[in-house]
Amino acid sequence: MNTIQQPTPNQYRPLGMNPLKFATWLFIVSIVMIFASLTSAYVVRRGEGNWLEFDLPSLFWINSVILLISSVTMHIAYLQAKKDNFNLLRIFIVATFVLGIVFLILQYYAWGQLVDNKVFFVGNPAGSFVYVLSGLHGAHIIAGLIFLFIVFIMVFQDKIHSKKMLWIEICTTFWHFLDGLWLYLFFFLILNR
Query: 81 lies in a domain?
Result: yes
Query: 111 lies in a domain?
Result: yes
Whichever domain contains 108, its CATH number is 1.20.120.80
Query: 19 lies in a domain?
Result: no
Predicted confidence (pLDDT) per residue in 128-163, tens digit: 999 999 999 999 999 999 999 999 999 989 899 999
The Cα–Cα gap between 30 and 86 comes to 33
Query: 38 lies in a domain?
Result: no
Predicted confidence (pLDDT) per residue in 87-101, tens digit: 999 999 999 999 999
Predicted confidence (pLDDT) per residue in 36-89, tens digit: 999 999 999 998 888 888 999 999 999 999 999 999 999 999 999 999 999 999
Closest to 96 in 3D by CA, of 75, 121, 117: 75
Query: 39 lies in a domain?
Result: no
The Cα–Cα gap between 103 and 138 comes to 9
The pTM score is 0.89
Query: 47 lies in a domain?
Result: no
Domain extent for 166: 56-191
Query: 161 lies in a domain?
Result: yes
Number of domains composing the chain: 1
Query: 17 lies in a domain?
Result: no
